[in-house]
Structure 1
C-alpha cells in the first residue's frame, strides 16, 4: 500500500478541502543529498529512432533536499519533451469533480462496518487527526476513503504534495517552452481503484489503518530508498499490503507498466528525446517499464 499510496495520494490530497490548516513540519530522518535512479533508453533496430531518459520520481518532497544532479540536468537539457503519469492536477476544481464523481456513491456502509472491529480505534484516531468529516468519508467508496486517509497522514507530516518532483519538472519544461505529455488521465488513474472489487478495496483501507502508526517511518524509508537509488529496497517496500496479492499487483502495477511500454514504444519510433518521469515503483524490479522496453530490443543504460 505504501508505494501505491505514493502514486495516487497526490490526487486525493488535492481534494482534502476540509484540511485548510497547514500542519507544522515534522523532523524527518531523510537523506538530504542523493542520486535517484536514471536510465537512458535508445533504439538498436530500424524504426527505433527516438531516445528516452527514464527517471523514477517520488510525488512528495521534504524541504531542503537536493535531488537534482548534473546527470539529470543534462538529460533535461537534451530532452525536447516531458512525459509524466498524468496531466491536469493543477486544475484542482476539475480534479475534485472527477474524484467526487468516482468516489461518492449512494448506499455505502459506514466505514466502521467495512473494517475489522479491532481497527475501530485506529480509524477514529486517523479521522480525528485528518480533520475530514466522518460523514463525508462514510459516503465514499472504500478505495476513495483509503486514499483520502492516507493522504491526510502525509499532510500530518507537514508535507505538501504541490511541491513534488513532477510539479518541479513540469514548471521547468513549461518555462523552456517544451511540450508536456501524460501516460494516463485523471479518470483512468483513479479508475483503476474504482474498479477494484470491494474485498480488495477493503484490504486497501485495512492497510492504511494498520500502517498508520508507522506512517512517518514508512515515508522515510521510501524517500531514502528513492534518493539513494536503492531499487531493491523500493521493490521490497512495494511488495506489501494489497500488492502481496498477485492478481491485485498484476492489475494495479504490472498492467499499467505494460500499457506505458506500448505508448513509449510508439514514441520511440519517432525522432526526438523524451524525459519520462514516473513513480519510482514503476521502474524497479522485473516488471519495470525499462526492463520491458529492453525485451523489445531497446538498449537500456543505467546512468545514475
Structure 2
C-alpha cells in the first residue's frame, strides 16, 4: 500500500522486521548553534508488533532532553480527544453524499471495502472522497496489525519523565489550514486518490514492511522514492501535508533554537527527507545540521 498517509498523520497480520537487520539504527539529525542542540528523529507513526527501532543515539538524546516535541500530543482523556476531533469533522464531511460525487463503480468498490472494515454505510457515504480514501487506508493498516499505540510517537511520549516538557508542532490554526486545503480539493482529484487507494487495497493482502525495514537500518531511499512519487502523482497532497506543514513548523523550531538547550523533535520520517525536509530547511536557516 502507498505510504502517503504517513504524516500523518501516518500508518497488518503481525509482522517483525527482517532478521537481516543486525541492529536498530534509524537516522538521526543534530541541529546546533552556539548554545542549543536539537535532535531530529524521523518516526513511523504506526507499527506492528516486533519492530525493534530504539537506538543508542536516540535514547541518549531523549535522556538529556529538556523539551520533547511531537507533531501532535496524545489527548489525555476522551473529552480532550472529542474536543480536538469535532472541529475537524466538517472538513471530512461532504455537502453531497459520496455516491453522488464519484462514479458508480468507484463507489461500489469503496463501499465493499468500507463494509468489510466495519464502517456503517450511511456514515461512510457522508465522507469527501479524499477522506474516504484516508479512512480505508488507515482501516486496512489497523486490520493487518499496525497500531498507533506501537508507533514511535506514542511509545516515546508515554515513556517521558515527569520533568520533561512537551510541545506540539501542529497548532490548531495549522491543523485547520491543512484540513481545509484538503477539503477544498476537487471531487475529481479526490476520486482519483480514492481509486489509487482501492487499487492498493485490492493488490496487497499482506503487510508491506519495505519502508520500515529500510528505516530501521538507516536507509532513507525508499522514503525518498515514495515522496518523489507522491509529489508527482498527488502534488496537492504533497504540498498540503508535507511542504506547508514543514514550513508552518519552522517558526516554532527557530524559537526553540533560540530559547532551549536540549530539544528532541519527533516527526514523521517523510518530513525529514529531501529538499523540502526539516533538516534542509534548518540548514537553509543558518543552523549547523549533521546527519544523513
TM category, shorter: 0.7 to 0.9
TM-score normalised by L of structure 2:
0.85
Deviation at 1:299, TM superposition (A): 1.0
User: 1:6 aligned to 2:11?
Assistant: no
1:264 paired to 2:253: yes
Q: CA deviation at 1:149?
A: 0.9
2:68 pairs, out of 53, 75, 82, with 82
Q: For the Cα contact (< 8 Å) 2:7–2:241, is it kept in 1?
A: no
Task: Give 2:167's match in structure 1, choosing from 169, 173, 181.
Answer: 181
Question: What pairs with 1:204-243 in structure 2 (closer than 5 Å)?
Answer: 204-215=193-204, 219-241=208-230
> Could you say which residue in structure 2 is the equivalent of 1:41?
31
TM-score by length of 1: 0.82
Q: 2:157 aligns with which of 165, 170, 175?
A: 170
Question: How far did residue 110 of structure 1 move?
Answer: 1.1
Q: Is the 8 A contact 1:86 1:184 kept in 2?
A: yes
Are 1:50 and 2:36 counterparts?
yes
1:142–1:268: structure 2 CA closer, same or farther, 3 Å change rule?
A: same
Could you tell me whether the CA contact under 8 Å between 2:13 and 2:207 is conserved in 1? no
* Structure 2: stretches of 5+ with no match in the other structure: none
Note the alpha carbon deviations across 1:121-144, whole angstroms, 9 max, x for none: 642441232110121111112222
- The 1:176–1:109 alpha-carbon spacing in structure 2 relative to 1, beyond 3 Å, is closer
Structure 1: 5+ residue runs without aligned partners? 14-24
Q: How many residues of Structure 1 are paired with residues of Structure 2 in the alignment? A: 283
1:139 match: secondary structure: coil
Preserved contact between residue 27 and residue 215 of structure 2 (Cα < 8 Å): yes
CA RMSD of aligned residues (A): 2.7
Q: 1:203 to 1:228 in 2, by over 3 A?
A: farther
- Give the match for residue 291 of structure 2: 302
Q: Is 253-262 or 74-83 further displaced after alignment? A: 253-262
Shift of 1:176: 3.6
What is the rounded CA distance, in whole Å, between the counterparts of 2:241 and 2:139 in structure 1? Answer: 22
Once residues 196 and 15 of structure 2 are traced to their aligned partners in structure 1, the CA distance between those partners, rounded to angstroms, is 22
